[in-house]
Amino acid sequence: MKRFFIVILYALLFGLSLQAFHFKLDHPIAEDISRLMPVKMKAIQAEDNEEAIKRIILEANENDDPISIGGMQHSQGGQTLYPNGILLDMKRYDKVLDLDVKGKRITVQSGATWADLQEYINPYGLALKVSQSQNIFTIGGSLSVNVHGRDIRHHALIETVESFRLLNAKGQVLTVSRKENSELFSSVIGGYGLFGVILDVTLQLTDDELYKIKTKSLHYDEYTSYFKKEVLQNDDVKMHLARISVAPGSYLDEMYVTDYYRANDQAQLSNYDTLKRETIIAVPKFFLGLSRYNDWGKERFWETQETYTANINGNLISRNNAMRSDSAFMDYSNPSKTDVLQEYFVPIDQFADYIDDLRKTLSDEKDFNLLNITIRYVEQNDESMMSYAKEDMFALVMLINQGTDNESKENSGRVIRKMIDVTLNHNGSYYLPYYGYPTKRQLYEAYPRTEDFFQLKKKYDPDNRFMNLFFEEYHP
């Protein structure tokens, strides 16, 4: 009898476990890289051909299912998620369709990554005009957030796009360019997947080149004049980035810059054009890890960055390799904490005053764990409906460590809203792919055409077939 009850109990437990397993299969939990907002989806679907993707859209129409679109899912504010919706995972849709070497243009499916493109075009002596500093992201995702990078002559990604094909909510495929469906061109690029599925994109390319790296240390109040004179007015400088210290001993004061000059002897390019992968990962990963825990670690991390920058001064590097940074050293796994990003854009002439105000704002925020600030340049461009570059701007990319509990999120939100207000007070703006800490007021002030953007969403997708948590949070 005892054995009988044990068998019955085991069967019940097995049945409950199986039921829970099938429930998880039927209701998968999806989350972005920040892990701050796990969302229960109806399904996650990935296809590698256009007709299959179209069927997903048509079936969603029949079942009245919302659709969110995801690539690498490094957006951190629910831009690729919506509760009980279909997550359309585009990573398998990744073929290069055409390369015009003479015309320097490529057509590629939206699930391909920048790394895929670089490996394809590098043998032809071609390079990307614009991409993020890391090359792990999908082309469709990068269009959806209208990325920018290190190149100071080519700015927002939208500038390099000739056309793309869009699968809309009705299952129709539209060709979109500056001349054809132009409203969609300006709203889909930087539109966070709210207008349809970007199927494939035709991008302008440029020549691969050999660069000489030059680095320099300076103080924050010297940066604007240095940049205007030594970088913008020098046609030989092709790429640029800077970092400003968050270590207590030099907090928002010391900086170093890294400039990429076109090398005099381009014949040496063949000695440097093999695509590299970063191999020195353990050291920066170790010191970045230390910086998460205390001020001593932040000092050591800044010293490590300065030493590395000094050591690469004078090095030669190809354009493709300069646009090929590996983010592996930033990988971080902690059950109760996560790293999040913020990015603020400030007019270049207001940089020093902005840093002074930012320093005052953060001086009393002892629990706000700011790990790193990287600075790039973006030229004014209003071609995208949701353009972040209202004038020539410095872009400050901030890496922040925070807890995943509600109290930590509330604290981070409070500080971030203060920083955004400082940015807006300097006629700046902020980047949208991150957690929904900003208020609606801040969104509409940073992006004056937000109302028009949402009106176009209503015009082209009246049933809200394409949905995400960003839209849910901020639409009227």
pLDDT(21) > 50: no
Predicted pLDDT at 229: 97
**pLDDT band of 75, cuts 50, 70, 90:** low
- Domain range 210-439, CATH architecture: 2-Layer Sandwich (3.30)
**pLDDT band of 289, cuts 50, 70, 90:** confident
Cβ atoms of 171 and 76 within 8 Å: the answer is no
Predicted pLDDT at 63: 96
pLDDT(71) > 90: no
Domain boundaries, the chain: 210-439
pLDDT(18) > 90: no
pLDDT digits (tens, 9 = 90+) for 352-380: 999 999 999 999 898 999 999 999 999 99
Residue with more model confidence, 24 or 91: 91
pLDDT digits (tens, 9 = 90+) for 144-169: 999 988 899 888 999 999 999 999 99
Sequence-distant (≥ 6) Cβ neighbours of residue 53 within 8 angstroms: 47, 88, 93, 167, 197, 199
The mean pLDDT of 9-35, rounded to a whole number, is 53
pLDDT(329) > 60: no
Predicted pLDDT at 436: 84
Predicted pLDDT at 19: 42
Poorest-pLDDT segment among 81-90, 129-138, 225-234, 393-402 = 129-138
**pLDDT band of 13, cuts 50, 70, 90:** very low
pLDDT(1) > 70: no
Sequence-distant (≥ 6) Cβ neighbours of residue 235 within 8 angstroms: none
Predicted pLDDT at 134: 75
The mean pLDDT of 293-306, rounded to a whole number, is 93
Q: How far apart are CA 218 and CA 226, in angstroms?
A: 9
**pLDDT band of 332, cuts 50, 70, 90:** low
Average pLDDT of the chain is: 89
Instruction: Specify which of 174-178, 381-385, 465-469 reaches the highest per-range mean pLDDT.
Output: 174-178
Residue with more model confidence, 12 or 62: 62
pLDDT(280) > 50: yes
pLDDT(72) > 80: no
Predicted pLDDT at 301: 93
Poorest-pLDDT segment among 19-23, 208-212, 342-346, 422-426 = 19-23
Predicted pLDDT at 15: 45
Predicted pLDDT at 70: 86
Poorest-pLDDT segment among 28-37, 189-198, 260-269, 429-438 = 28-37
For 17-31, give one letter per residue: b (16+ CB within 10 A) or e: eeeeeeeeeeeeebe
Separation in Å, CA 26 to CA 53, 148, 197, 272: 20, 38, 24, 50
Residue with more model confidence, 17 or 237: 237
What share of the chain has pLDDT > 70, as a percent?
Answer: 89
pLDDT(460) > 60: yes
Q: How far apart are CA 84 and CA 66, in angstroms?
A: 8
Amino acid at 168: N
